Structure 1
Amino acid sequence: MEPPLGRYRIRLGADVAEALGTGAPVVALESTILSHGLPRPRNLEVGAEIERTVRATGAVPATIGVLGGEICVGLDAKQLEHLALTDGVAKASVRDLPVVAAKRLDGATTVASTAAIAAAVGIPVFATGGLGGVHRDASTTFDESADLGALARTPIAVVCAGVKSILDVPATLERLESSGVTVLGYRTDRFPGFYLSDSGYPIGWRAENPEEIADVLRAARELKLGSGAVVVANPLPVDEQLDPALHDRVLREGLAGLERDHVTGKDVTPYLLAHFHASTEGASLTVNTRIILRNAELAGRIAVAFAGSRTVSA
Protein backbone atom coordinates (compact mmCIF):
# COMPACT_ATOMS: atom_id res chain seq x y z
CA MET A 1 0.00 0.00 0.00
CA GLU A 2 1.26 3.48 -0.89
CA PRO A 3 1.71 5.82 2.08
CA PRO A 4 -0.77 8.70 2.14
CA LEU A 5 0.39 12.06 0.84
CA GLY A 6 1.48 14.41 3.59
CA ARG A 7 -0.23 17.69 4.33
CA TYR A 8 2.92 19.66 3.60
CA ARG A 9 4.40 19.68 0.13
CA ILE A 10 6.49 21.90 -2.13
CA ARG A 11 4.43 23.24 -5.03
CA LEU A 12 6.07 23.93 -8.39
CA GLY A 13 4.89 26.70 -10.67
CA ALA A 14 3.80 25.56 -14.11
CA ASP A 15 6.88 26.90 -15.96
CA VAL A 16 9.26 25.44 -13.42
CA ALA A 17 7.55 22.05 -13.38
CA GLU A 18 7.72 21.86 -17.17
CA ALA A 19 11.37 22.93 -17.27
CA LEU A 20 12.44 20.44 -14.63
CA GLY A 21 10.47 17.71 -16.35
CA THR A 22 12.24 18.30 -19.67
CA GLY A 23 15.71 19.05 -18.31
CA ALA A 24 15.56 22.70 -19.32
CA PRO A 25 17.74 25.18 -17.36
CA VAL A 26 16.24 26.67 -14.18
CA VAL A 27 17.65 29.28 -11.79
CA ALA A 28 16.41 29.52 -8.20
CA LEU A 29 15.89 33.00 -6.73
CA GLU A 30 15.30 34.03 -3.13
CA SER A 31 12.40 36.19 -1.98
CA THR A 32 13.93 37.87 1.07
CA ILE A 33 15.35 40.55 -1.20
CA LEU A 34 11.75 41.39 -2.14
CA SER A 35 10.23 41.47 1.32
CA HIS A 36 13.15 42.57 3.49
CA GLY A 37 16.05 43.67 1.31
CA LEU A 38 14.76 46.56 -0.79
CA PRO A 39 12.34 49.44 -0.20
CA ARG A 40 8.87 49.50 -1.76
CA PRO A 41 7.95 49.74 -4.60
CA ARG A 42 11.48 49.30 -5.94
CA ASN A 43 11.57 45.79 -4.51
CA LEU A 44 8.79 44.61 -6.81
CA GLU A 45 10.37 46.29 -9.82
CA VAL A 46 13.72 44.67 -9.11
CA GLY A 47 12.06 41.27 -8.62
CA ALA A 48 10.59 41.52 -12.12
CA GLU A 49 13.93 42.70 -13.53
CA ILE A 50 15.73 39.73 -11.99
CA GLU A 51 13.30 37.28 -13.58
CA ARG A 52 13.56 39.01 -16.98
CA THR A 53 17.34 38.84 -16.74
CA VAL A 54 17.26 35.09 -16.13
CA ARG A 55 14.81 34.53 -18.98
CA ALA A 56 17.02 36.51 -21.35
CA THR A 57 19.75 33.87 -20.90
CA GLY A 58 17.39 31.08 -21.93
CA ALA A 59 16.79 29.80 -18.38
CA VAL A 60 13.55 29.70 -16.37
CA PRO A 61 13.47 31.82 -13.19
CA ALA A 62 12.13 30.11 -10.06
CA THR A 63 11.56 32.65 -7.31
CA ILE A 64 10.85 30.76 -4.09
CA GLY A 65 8.56 31.86 -1.27
CA VAL A 66 5.92 30.67 1.18
CA LEU A 67 2.27 31.63 0.67
CA GLY A 68 -0.19 30.70 3.40
CA GLY A 69 2.17 28.00 4.63
CA GLU A 70 2.73 26.48 1.19
CA ILE A 71 6.27 26.49 -0.17
CA CYS A 72 6.09 27.64 -3.78
CA VAL A 73 8.90 27.29 -6.31
CA GLY A 74 8.24 29.63 -9.21
CA LEU A 75 6.04 32.45 -7.93
CA ASP A 76 3.67 34.08 -10.40
CA ALA A 77 3.28 37.86 -10.73
CA LYS A 78 0.46 38.05 -8.19
CA GLN A 79 2.40 36.02 -5.62
CA LEU A 80 5.51 38.13 -6.14
CA GLU A 81 3.47 41.26 -5.58
CA HIS A 82 1.97 39.81 -2.41
CA LEU A 83 5.34 39.03 -0.83
CA ALA A 84 6.82 42.34 -1.96
CA LEU A 85 4.02 44.60 -0.72
CA THR A 86 2.49 42.80 2.28
CA ASP A 87 3.45 43.66 5.85
CA GLY A 88 4.38 40.94 8.31
CA VAL A 89 5.98 38.47 5.89
CA ALA A 90 8.26 36.20 7.94
CA LYS A 91 11.93 35.97 7.10
CA ALA A 92 12.14 32.20 6.76
CA SER A 93 15.43 30.36 7.05
CA VAL A 94 15.60 26.56 7.05
CA ARG A 95 14.77 26.27 10.74
CA ASP A 96 11.70 28.48 10.30
CA LEU A 97 10.10 26.62 7.38
CA PRO A 98 8.27 23.94 9.44
CA VAL A 99 6.77 26.59 11.73
CA VAL A 100 5.79 28.89 8.86
CA ALA A 101 4.20 25.95 7.04
CA ALA A 102 2.34 24.63 10.10
CA LYS A 103 1.01 28.07 11.04
CA ARG A 104 -0.02 28.79 7.42
CA LEU A 105 2.03 31.98 7.29
CA ASP A 106 3.59 33.94 4.47
CA GLY A 107 7.38 33.72 4.35
CA ALA A 108 10.27 35.01 2.30
CA THR A 109 13.13 32.57 1.83
CA THR A 110 16.72 33.36 2.77
CA VAL A 111 19.88 32.07 1.07
CA ALA A 112 19.85 29.02 3.34
CA SER A 113 16.22 28.05 2.81
CA THR A 114 16.22 28.90 -0.90
CA ALA A 115 19.25 26.69 -1.48
CA ALA A 116 17.71 23.83 0.51
CA ILE A 117 14.35 24.03 -1.29
CA ALA A 118 15.94 24.40 -4.73
CA ALA A 119 18.15 21.36 -4.20
CA ALA A 120 15.19 19.36 -2.92
CA VAL A 121 13.29 19.83 -6.18
CA GLY A 122 16.33 19.41 -8.44
CA ILE A 123 17.30 22.98 -9.34
CA PRO A 124 21.12 23.08 -9.69
CA VAL A 125 21.82 26.84 -9.77
CA PHE A 126 20.81 29.68 -7.46
CA ALA A 127 21.45 33.43 -7.79
CA THR A 128 21.57 35.78 -4.83
CA GLY A 129 23.20 39.06 -3.85
CA GLY A 130 25.61 38.31 -1.03
CA LEU A 131 26.00 35.41 1.37
CA GLY A 132 25.65 35.54 5.12
CA GLY A 133 28.68 34.54 7.11
CA VAL A 134 30.56 34.84 10.37
CA HIS A 135 29.79 38.06 12.22
CA ARG A 136 32.60 40.29 13.44
CA ASP A 137 31.99 39.54 17.12
CA ALA A 138 31.39 35.81 16.64
CA SER A 139 34.22 34.89 19.02
CA THR A 140 31.99 36.05 21.89
CA THR A 141 28.47 35.83 20.42
CA PHE A 142 28.94 32.70 18.26
CA ASP A 143 26.83 34.50 15.67
CA GLU A 144 27.13 32.81 12.28
CA SER A 145 24.63 32.85 9.46
CA ALA A 146 22.60 29.72 8.78
CA ASP A 147 23.75 30.17 5.17
CA LEU A 148 27.07 28.55 6.06
CA GLY A 149 25.53 25.37 7.41
CA ALA A 150 23.15 25.11 4.48
CA LEU A 151 25.95 25.53 1.95
CA ALA A 152 27.97 22.84 3.69
CA ARG A 153 25.28 20.22 3.07
CA THR A 154 23.56 21.40 -0.11
CA PRO A 155 24.80 20.39 -3.59
CA ILE A 156 23.98 23.55 -5.54
CA ALA A 157 25.86 26.31 -7.34
CA VAL A 158 25.31 29.70 -5.68
CA VAL A 159 26.23 32.81 -7.64
CA CYS A 160 26.90 35.74 -5.33
CA ALA A 161 29.04 38.86 -4.84
CA GLY A 162 30.89 37.26 -1.95
CA VAL A 163 29.74 38.06 1.56
CA LYS A 164 28.53 41.37 2.84
CA SER A 165 31.45 43.55 3.92
CA ILE A 166 29.78 44.08 7.30
CA LEU A 167 30.86 40.52 8.22
CA ASP A 168 34.15 38.91 9.23
CA VAL A 169 35.34 37.96 5.75
CA PRO A 170 38.45 35.88 6.61
CA ALA A 171 36.56 33.92 9.27
CA THR A 172 33.77 33.27 6.76
CA LEU A 173 36.23 31.98 4.17
CA GLU A 174 37.78 29.70 6.79
CA ARG A 175 34.34 28.35 7.71
CA LEU A 176 33.51 27.68 4.05
CA GLU A 177 36.79 25.84 3.60
CA SER A 178 36.38 23.69 6.71
CA SER A 179 32.81 22.89 5.65
CA GLY A 180 33.84 21.52 2.26
CA VAL A 181 32.32 24.34 0.22
CA THR A 182 34.05 24.99 -3.10
CA VAL A 183 34.68 28.68 -3.81
CA LEU A 184 35.34 29.83 -7.38
CA GLY A 185 36.18 33.36 -8.42
CA TYR A 186 34.53 34.30 -11.69
CA ARG A 187 37.39 35.82 -13.68
CA THR A 188 39.05 36.90 -10.46
CA ASP A 189 41.53 35.64 -7.86
CA ARG A 190 40.10 37.94 -5.18
CA PHE A 191 37.05 37.36 -3.01
CA PRO A 192 34.54 40.19 -3.48
CA GLY A 193 33.07 42.10 -0.56
CA PHE A 194 29.54 42.67 -1.88
CA TYR A 195 29.57 46.48 -2.26
CA LEU A 196 33.31 46.27 -2.99
CA SER A 197 34.98 44.40 -5.84
CA ASP A 198 37.75 43.13 -3.57
CA SER A 199 37.33 42.25 0.10
CA GLY A 200 41.10 42.09 0.49
CA TYR A 201 41.29 38.29 0.56
CA PRO A 202 42.30 35.78 -2.15
CA ILE A 203 40.39 32.86 -3.66
CA GLY A 204 42.15 29.61 -4.40
CA TRP A 205 40.29 28.78 -7.61
CA ARG A 206 38.90 30.74 -10.53
CA ALA A 207 36.82 30.07 -13.64
CA GLU A 208 36.79 32.04 -16.85
CA ASN A 209 33.39 31.16 -18.32
CA PRO A 210 30.01 29.63 -17.42
CA GLU A 211 30.87 26.38 -19.18
CA GLU A 212 33.86 25.84 -16.89
CA ILE A 213 31.66 26.43 -13.84
CA ALA A 214 29.06 24.00 -15.19
CA ASP A 215 31.81 21.37 -15.54
CA VAL A 216 32.83 21.89 -11.90
CA LEU A 217 29.21 21.51 -10.80
CA ARG A 218 28.84 18.37 -12.85
CA ALA A 219 32.06 16.91 -11.43
CA ALA A 220 30.86 17.62 -7.89
CA ARG A 221 27.63 15.75 -8.58
CA GLU A 222 29.14 12.77 -10.41
CA LEU A 223 31.95 12.18 -7.93
CA LYS A 224 29.44 11.98 -5.05
CA LEU A 225 32.02 12.83 -2.41
CA GLY A 226 29.54 14.53 -0.12
CA SER A 227 30.86 18.01 -0.82
CA GLY A 228 28.63 21.01 -0.28
CA ALA A 229 27.78 23.91 -2.52
CA VAL A 230 29.87 25.49 -5.25
CA VAL A 231 30.02 29.21 -4.45
CA VAL A 232 30.66 31.34 -7.52
CA ALA A 233 32.02 34.72 -6.44
CA ASN A 234 31.10 37.29 -9.09
CA PRO A 235 32.58 40.71 -8.27
CA LEU A 236 31.31 44.02 -9.52
CA PRO A 237 33.61 45.82 -11.97
CA VAL A 238 35.75 48.32 -10.07
CA ASP A 239 34.02 51.27 -11.73
CA GLU A 240 30.62 50.00 -10.50
CA GLN A 241 31.45 49.34 -6.87
CA LEU A 242 30.52 51.62 -4.00
CA ASP A 243 33.17 54.27 -3.42
CA PRO A 244 35.61 52.52 -1.02
CA ALA A 245 36.21 55.61 1.13
CA LEU A 246 32.47 56.14 1.51
CA HIS A 247 31.99 52.46 2.24
CA ASP A 248 34.61 52.39 4.98
CA ARG A 249 33.25 55.50 6.69
CA VAL A 250 29.65 54.30 6.62
CA LEU A 251 30.67 50.85 7.89
CA ARG A 252 32.54 52.36 10.85
CA GLU A 253 29.52 54.48 11.72
CA GLY A 254 27.19 51.51 11.37
CA LEU A 255 29.28 49.28 13.62
CA ALA A 256 29.35 52.03 16.24
CA GLY A 257 25.56 52.30 15.91
CA LEU A 258 25.15 48.59 16.61
CA GLU A 259 26.91 48.96 19.93
CA ARG A 260 25.11 52.19 20.80
CA ASP A 261 21.65 50.81 20.01
CA HIS A 262 22.35 47.33 21.46
CA VAL A 263 21.48 45.59 18.17
CA THR A 264 22.37 41.88 18.11
CA GLY A 265 21.57 38.58 16.40
CA LYS A 266 19.43 38.46 13.31
CA ASP A 267 18.73 42.21 13.54
CA VAL A 268 22.35 43.12 12.79
CA THR A 269 22.30 42.71 9.02
CA PRO A 270 18.98 44.56 8.39
CA TYR A 271 20.19 47.37 10.66
CA LEU A 272 23.49 47.79 8.83
CA LEU A 273 21.94 47.54 5.36
CA ALA A 274 19.37 50.20 6.28
CA HIS A 275 22.19 52.36 7.64
CA PHE A 276 24.11 51.97 4.36
CA HIS A 277 21.06 52.93 2.34
CA ALA A 278 20.40 56.06 4.39
CA SER A 279 24.01 57.16 4.79
CA THR A 280 24.95 56.70 1.13
CA GLU A 281 21.75 58.47 0.01
CA GLY A 282 20.66 55.44 -1.99
CA ALA A 283 24.01 54.69 -3.63
CA SER A 284 24.22 51.34 -1.84
CA LEU A 285 20.76 50.43 -3.15
CA THR A 286 21.91 51.12 -6.71
CA VAL A 287 24.97 48.93 -6.19
CA ASN A 288 22.85 46.22 -4.57
CA THR A 289 20.56 46.16 -7.60
CA ARG A 290 23.49 45.91 -10.01
CA ILE A 291 24.88 43.02 -7.98
CA ILE A 292 21.76 40.87 -8.09
CA LEU A 293 21.10 41.53 -11.77
CA ARG A 294 24.69 40.61 -12.71
CA ASN A 295 24.47 37.47 -10.59
CA ALA A 296 21.13 36.49 -12.13
CA GLU A 297 22.60 36.85 -15.61
CA LEU A 298 25.65 34.72 -14.79
CA ALA A 299 23.52 32.10 -13.01
CA GLY A 300 21.29 31.84 -16.08
CA ARG A 301 24.30 31.25 -18.30
CA ILE A 302 25.66 28.60 -15.93
CA ALA A 303 22.27 26.86 -15.81
CA VAL A 304 22.09 26.83 -19.61
CA ALA A 305 25.61 25.41 -19.84
CA PHE A 306 24.87 22.79 -17.20
CA ALA A 307 21.63 21.71 -18.91
CA GLY A 308 23.51 21.48 -22.21
CA SER A 309 26.24 19.30 -20.72
CA ARG A 310 23.62 16.93 -19.32
CA THR A 311 22.00 16.68 -22.76
CA VAL A 312 25.32 15.91 -24.45
CA SER A 313 26.29 13.27 -21.90
CA ALA A 314 22.86 11.66 -22.13
Structure 2
Amino acid sequence: MLLCRRLHGLPPQFVVSAAVRSALASKKGVVALESTVITHGLPYPQNLETAKLLEDTVRSEGSEPATIALFDGRIHIGLSNEQLARIAESEEAVKVSRRDIAYALNKGVVGGTTVAATMYLAHMAGIRVFATGALDISADLIELMRTPVTVVCAGVKSILDIPKTVEFLETHSVNCIVFGKRNVFPGFFTQETQARAQYCTEDLNEVVRNIEMSENLRLEAGTILACPIPDELQGDGQIIENAIQVALDEAK
Protein backbone atom coordinates (compact mmCIF):
# COMPACT_ATOMS: atom_id res chain seq x y z
CA MET A 1 0.00 0.00 0.00
CA LEU A 2 2.79 2.41 0.91
CA LEU A 3 4.57 1.61 -2.36
CA CYS A 4 1.39 2.19 -4.37
CA ARG A 5 0.98 5.59 -2.73
CA ARG A 6 4.61 6.37 -3.53
CA LEU A 7 4.17 5.52 -7.22
CA HIS A 8 0.91 7.46 -7.49
CA GLY A 9 2.51 10.37 -5.69
CA LEU A 10 5.46 10.69 -8.06
CA PRO A 11 5.86 13.98 -9.95
CA PRO A 12 4.30 13.95 -13.45
CA GLN A 13 7.77 13.87 -15.02
CA PHE A 14 8.13 10.21 -13.98
CA VAL A 15 7.24 7.45 -16.43
CA VAL A 16 7.45 4.03 -14.78
CA SER A 17 7.20 1.12 -17.20
CA ALA A 18 4.36 -1.37 -16.84
CA ALA A 19 6.85 -4.17 -16.15
CA VAL A 20 8.50 -2.26 -13.31
CA ARG A 21 5.14 -1.20 -11.85
CA SER A 22 3.93 -4.79 -11.91
CA ALA A 23 7.12 -6.07 -10.29
CA LEU A 24 6.97 -3.49 -7.51
CA ALA A 25 3.28 -4.15 -6.88
CA SER A 26 3.86 -7.91 -6.61
CA LYS A 27 6.97 -7.40 -4.44
CA LYS A 28 9.16 -9.01 -7.06
CA GLY A 29 12.80 -7.94 -6.99
CA VAL A 30 13.58 -4.82 -9.01
CA VAL A 31 17.15 -3.75 -9.82
CA ALA A 32 17.89 -0.23 -11.01
CA LEU A 33 20.55 0.20 -13.71
CA GLU A 34 22.31 3.40 -14.69
CA SER A 35 22.46 4.66 -18.27
CA THR A 36 25.74 6.58 -18.50
CA VAL A 37 27.43 3.32 -19.42
CA ILE A 38 25.12 3.36 -22.46
CA THR A 39 25.37 7.04 -23.37
CA HIS A 40 29.02 7.67 -22.46
CA GLY A 41 30.75 4.48 -21.38
CA LEU A 42 30.86 2.43 -24.57
CA PRO A 43 30.59 3.07 -28.32
CA TYR A 44 27.63 1.95 -30.39
CA PRO A 45 26.63 -0.89 -30.86
CA GLN A 46 28.61 -2.37 -27.94
CA ASN A 47 26.73 -0.07 -25.56
CA LEU A 48 23.36 -1.42 -26.67
CA GLU A 49 24.57 -5.01 -26.52
CA THR A 50 25.89 -4.44 -23.00
CA ALA A 51 22.66 -2.78 -21.85
CA LYS A 52 20.61 -5.74 -23.09
CA LEU A 53 23.04 -8.21 -21.52
CA LEU A 54 22.78 -6.45 -18.15
CA GLU A 55 18.99 -6.51 -18.28
CA ASP A 56 18.94 -10.18 -19.33
CA THR A 57 21.28 -11.01 -16.43
CA VAL A 58 18.91 -9.39 -13.95
CA ARG A 59 15.94 -11.26 -15.44
CA SER A 60 17.82 -14.57 -15.34
CA GLU A 61 18.06 -14.17 -11.55
CA GLY A 62 14.32 -13.65 -11.20
CA SER A 63 14.22 -9.85 -10.88
CA GLU A 64 13.01 -7.04 -13.11
CA PRO A 65 15.60 -4.59 -14.52
CA ALA A 66 14.80 -0.89 -14.34
CA THR A 67 17.23 1.01 -16.54
CA ILE A 68 16.80 4.71 -15.78
CA ALA A 69 17.27 7.49 -18.33
CA LEU A 70 15.94 10.94 -19.25
CA PHE A 71 14.46 11.97 -22.60
CA ASP A 72 11.54 14.02 -23.96
CA GLY A 73 11.36 15.92 -20.69
CA ARG A 74 10.55 12.79 -18.71
CA ILE A 75 12.30 10.48 -16.23
CA HIS A 76 11.92 6.94 -17.52
CA ILE A 77 12.12 4.10 -15.00
CA GLY A 78 12.41 0.92 -17.05
CA LEU A 79 13.06 1.07 -20.79
CA SER A 80 11.78 -0.86 -23.80
CA ASN A 81 14.23 -2.27 -26.35
CA GLU A 82 13.34 0.62 -28.66
CA GLN A 83 14.10 3.15 -25.93
CA LEU A 84 17.39 1.44 -25.11
CA ALA A 85 18.33 1.67 -28.78
CA ARG A 86 17.38 5.34 -28.89
CA ILE A 87 19.67 6.40 -26.05
CA ALA A 88 22.44 4.07 -27.28
CA GLU A 89 22.40 5.69 -30.73
CA SER A 90 22.15 9.28 -29.48
CA GLU A 91 25.20 11.38 -30.33
CA GLU A 92 24.05 14.36 -28.26
CA ALA A 93 23.26 12.64 -24.97
CA VAL A 94 24.38 14.43 -21.83
CA LYS A 95 25.62 12.95 -18.57
CA VAL A 96 23.11 13.63 -15.80
CA SER A 97 24.03 13.68 -12.12
CA ARG A 98 21.54 14.69 -9.43
CA ARG A 99 22.29 18.39 -9.89
CA ASP A 100 21.55 18.16 -13.65
CA ILE A 101 18.15 16.46 -13.52
CA ALA A 102 16.00 19.61 -13.61
CA TYR A 103 18.10 21.22 -16.36
CA ALA A 104 18.03 18.10 -18.53
CA LEU A 105 14.26 17.75 -18.14
CA ASN A 106 13.66 21.38 -19.06
CA LYS A 107 15.85 21.02 -22.15
CA GLY A 108 14.22 17.74 -23.16
CA VAL A 109 17.60 16.19 -23.95
CA VAL A 110 18.62 12.55 -23.84
CA GLY A 111 20.32 12.08 -20.48
CA GLY A 112 22.34 9.17 -19.18
CA THR A 113 22.03 8.94 -15.40
CA THR A 114 25.13 8.65 -13.21
CA VAL A 115 25.31 6.59 -10.03
CA ALA A 116 24.13 9.60 -7.98
CA ALA A 117 21.16 10.40 -10.22
CA THR A 118 20.18 6.75 -10.58
CA MET A 119 20.24 6.22 -6.81
CA TYR A 120 18.11 9.28 -6.18
CA LEU A 121 15.53 8.51 -8.86
CA ALA A 122 15.38 4.82 -7.96
CA HIS A 123 14.69 5.72 -4.33
CA MET A 124 11.90 8.08 -5.35
CA ALA A 125 10.31 5.23 -7.32
CA GLY A 126 10.58 2.79 -4.42
CA ILE A 127 13.43 0.71 -5.87
CA ARG A 128 15.79 -0.49 -3.14
CA VAL A 129 18.67 -2.06 -5.10
CA PHE A 130 20.93 -0.60 -7.78
CA ALA A 131 23.68 -2.43 -9.67
CA THR A 132 26.64 -0.69 -11.30
CA GLY A 133 30.26 -1.32 -12.22
CA ALA A 134 32.34 0.75 -9.80
CA LEU A 135 32.20 3.92 -7.74
CA ASP A 136 33.92 7.19 -8.55
CA ILE A 137 35.03 10.29 -6.64
CA SER A 138 32.06 12.52 -7.43
CA ALA A 139 28.54 13.25 -6.30
CA ASP A 140 28.17 9.46 -6.13
CA LEU A 141 29.81 9.40 -2.70
CA ILE A 142 27.68 12.24 -1.37
CA GLU A 143 24.51 10.55 -2.60
CA LEU A 144 25.45 7.38 -0.76
CA MET A 145 25.47 9.41 2.46
CA ARG A 146 21.83 10.48 2.12
CA THR A 147 19.96 7.98 -0.05
CA PRO A 148 19.00 4.58 1.45
CA VAL A 149 19.61 2.42 -1.60
CA THR A 150 21.83 -0.67 -1.72
CA VAL A 151 24.48 -0.32 -4.42
CA VAL A 152 25.88 -3.59 -5.73
CA CYS A 153 29.24 -2.97 -7.41
CA ALA A 154 32.73 -4.34 -7.99
CA GLY A 155 34.36 -1.79 -5.70
CA VAL A 156 35.99 1.56 -6.36
CA LYS A 157 37.64 2.52 -9.65
CA SER A 158 41.30 1.58 -9.72
CA ILE A 159 42.53 5.06 -10.64
CA LEU A 160 41.38 6.40 -7.25
CA ASP A 161 42.90 6.34 -3.78
CA ILE A 162 40.79 3.40 -2.65
CA PRO A 163 41.70 3.39 1.09
CA LYS A 164 40.82 7.09 1.41
CA THR A 165 37.59 6.58 -0.53
CA VAL A 166 36.51 3.73 1.76
CA GLU A 167 37.49 5.80 4.80
CA PHE A 168 35.36 8.69 3.52
CA LEU A 169 32.36 6.41 3.06
CA GLU A 170 32.64 4.83 6.48
CA THR A 171 33.18 8.23 8.14
CA HIS A 172 29.88 9.34 6.62
CA SER A 173 27.94 6.29 7.85
CA VAL A 174 27.80 4.40 4.56
CA ASN A 175 27.65 0.69 5.33
CA CYS A 176 30.34 -1.14 3.29
CA ILE A 177 29.93 -4.92 3.01
CA VAL A 178 32.20 -7.21 1.00
CA PHE A 179 30.40 -10.21 -0.43
CA GLY A 180 33.20 -12.71 0.08
CA LYS A 181 35.44 -14.49 2.56
CA ARG A 182 37.70 -11.57 3.50
CA ASN A 183 36.96 -8.04 4.63
CA VAL A 184 39.26 -6.56 1.99
CA PHE A 185 37.66 -4.05 -0.37
CA PRO A 186 37.82 -5.02 -4.07
CA GLY A 187 39.29 -2.74 -6.71
CA PHE A 188 37.04 -3.22 -9.74
CA PHE A 189 39.62 -5.11 -11.81
CA THR A 190 41.13 -6.94 -8.83
CA GLN A 191 39.68 -8.95 -5.98
CA GLU A 192 41.63 -7.19 -3.25
CA THR A 193 43.18 -3.81 -2.45
CA GLN A 194 44.92 -2.30 0.56
CA ALA A 195 41.59 -1.03 1.87
CA ARG A 196 39.71 -2.96 4.50
CA ALA A 197 35.95 -3.11 4.86
CA GLN A 198 34.19 -3.34 8.19
CA TYR A 199 32.15 -6.39 7.26
CA CYS A 200 32.28 -9.38 4.95
CA THR A 201 29.95 -12.31 4.44
CA GLU A 202 29.14 -15.07 1.98
CA ASP A 203 25.60 -15.35 3.32
CA LEU A 204 23.14 -13.43 1.15
CA ASN A 205 20.44 -13.74 3.81
CA GLU A 206 22.73 -11.92 6.24
CA VAL A 207 23.13 -9.12 3.71
CA VAL A 208 19.35 -8.85 3.35
CA ARG A 209 18.85 -8.75 7.12
CA ASN A 210 21.46 -6.00 7.42
CA ILE A 211 19.76 -3.91 4.73
CA GLU A 212 16.30 -4.41 6.22
CA MET A 213 17.52 -3.46 9.68
CA SER A 214 19.08 -0.26 8.30
CA GLU A 215 15.78 0.60 6.60
CA ASN A 216 13.70 -0.19 9.68
CA LEU A 217 15.91 2.08 11.79
CA ARG A 218 15.67 4.81 9.13
CA LEU A 219 19.42 5.30 9.07
CA GLU A 220 18.94 7.18 5.78
CA ALA A 221 22.29 6.21 4.26
CA GLY A 222 23.13 3.85 1.45
CA THR A 223 24.74 0.44 1.66
CA ILE A 224 27.54 -0.76 -0.59
CA LEU A 225 27.65 -4.46 -1.39
CA ALA A 226 31.09 -4.88 -2.97
CA CYS A 227 31.41 -8.04 -5.05
CA PRO A 228 34.99 -8.96 -6.04
CA ILE A 229 35.71 -9.88 -9.65
CA PRO A 230 35.19 -13.63 -10.30
CA ASP A 231 38.21 -15.93 -10.06
CA GLU A 232 38.13 -16.73 -13.77
CA LEU A 233 38.56 -13.05 -14.65
CA GLN A 234 41.16 -12.23 -12.02
CA GLY A 235 44.11 -12.80 -14.38
CA ASP A 236 42.90 -10.34 -17.01
CA GLY A 237 41.93 -7.92 -14.28
CA GLN A 238 45.42 -7.94 -12.82
CA ILE A 239 46.93 -7.13 -16.22
CA ILE A 240 44.64 -4.10 -16.51
CA GLU A 241 45.36 -3.05 -12.93
CA ASN A 242 49.13 -3.22 -13.53
CA ALA A 243 48.79 -1.07 -16.65
CA ILE A 244 46.76 1.51 -14.71
CA GLN A 245 49.38 1.71 -11.97
CA VAL A 246 52.17 2.19 -14.52
CA ALA A 247 50.22 5.01 -16.17
CA LEU A 248 49.55 6.69 -12.82
CA ASP A 249 53.23 6.48 -11.85
CA GLU A 250 54.27 8.00 -15.18
CA ALA A 251 51.76 10.82 -14.74
CA LYS A 252 53.21 11.89 -11.38
Normalised by the length of structure 2, the TM-score is 0.90
| Alpha-carbon separation, structure 1, partners of 2:10 and 2:149 | 26
**2:42 matches 1:49:** no
SS in 1 for 2:158: coil
| Alpha-carbon separation, structure 2, partners of 1:64 and 1:255 | 37
Determine what percentage of the aligned residue pairs are the same residue: 38
**C-alpha RMSD of the superposition:** 1.9
Work out whether residues 158 and 241 of structure 2, in 8 Å CA contact, stay in contact via their aligned partners in 1: no
Note the 1:34-183 alignment, pairs <5 A. 34-133=38-137, 145-183=138-176
| Alpha-carbon separation, structure 2, partners of 1:124 and 1:6 | 16
The Cα shift of 1:239 comes to: 3.7
RCO higher in 1 or 2 (8 Å CA, sep ≥ 6)?
A: 1
The Cα shift of 1:201 comes to: 1.6
1:210 is aligned to 204
Bigger proportion of residues as helix: 1
| Alpha-carbon separation, structure 2, partners of 1:95 and 1:216 | 30
One-letter identity of the residue aligned with 1:111: V
One-letter identity of the residue aligned with 1:128: T
Work out whether residues 13 and 74 of structure 1, in 8 Å CA contact, stay in contact via their aligned partners in 2: yes
The Cα shift of 1:194 comes to: 0.6
One-letter identity of the residue aligned with 2:226: A
1:10 is aligned to 14
Sort the Cα spacing of 1:21 and 1:196 in 2 relative to 1 into closer, same or farther, 3 A: same
> What whole-Å deviation, never above 9, does each CA across 1:247-281 have from its counterpart, x for those lacking one?
22344325746x7xxxxxxxxxxxxxxxxxxxxxx
> What whole-Å deviation, never above 9, does each CA across 1:62-93 have from its counterpart, x for those lacking one?
00000122110001111111111110100100
Question: Which of the numbers 22, 26, 38 marks the counterpart of 2:26?
Answer: 22
Aligned length: 242
Work out whether residues 161 and 193 of structure 1, in 8 Å CA contact, stay in contact via their aligned partners in 2: yes
| Alpha-carbon separation, structure 2, partners of 1:127 and 1:6 | 23
**Unmatched 5+ residue regions in structure 2?**
1-8
One-letter identity of the residue aligned with 1:88: E
The Cα shift of 1:22 comes to: 2.2
Normalised by the length of structure 1, the TM-score is 0.73
1:286 is aligned to none
Work out whether residues 8 and 101 of structure 1, in 8 Å CA contact, stay in contact via their aligned partners in 2: no
One-letter identity of the residue aligned with 1:196: T
**Unmatched 5+ residue regions in structure 1?**
134-144, 260-314
1:233 is aligned to 226
Note the 1:161-310 alignment, pairs <5 A. 161-187=154-180, 188-226=182-220, 228-241=221-234, 242-244=236-238, 246-253=240-247, 256=250
